[in-house]
Amino acid sequence: MTDTEQLYRIWVDWERHVLSLRPAAGYEMICVISRYRPFTKDPKDAAEMIASIEATSRLKVTGLVNTSSLGDDTDGETVLASACYAKEVSRLSGKPLLYTAVKKNVLATLSDGEKETLGDILPIEIYTKRLF
The mean of the pLDDT values for the chain is 87
Query: Minimal CA–CA distance to 100: which of 27, 29, 30?
Result: 30
* Residues near 105 by beta carbon (within 8 Å), at least 6 away in sequence: none
User: In 3-state terms, what secondary structure has residue 74?
Assistant: coil
Instruction: Judge whether 66 and 101 are in contact, CB under 8 Å.
Output: yes
Q: In this predicted structure, what is the pLDDT of residue 114?
A: 92
* Residues near 29 by beta carbon (within 8 Å), at least 6 away in sequence: 23, 57, 59, 60, 61, 62
Q: 27 falls in which pLDDT band (50, 70, 90)?
A: confident
Average pLDDT over residues 110-120: 92
Q: Higher confidence at residue 20 or residue 50?
A: 50
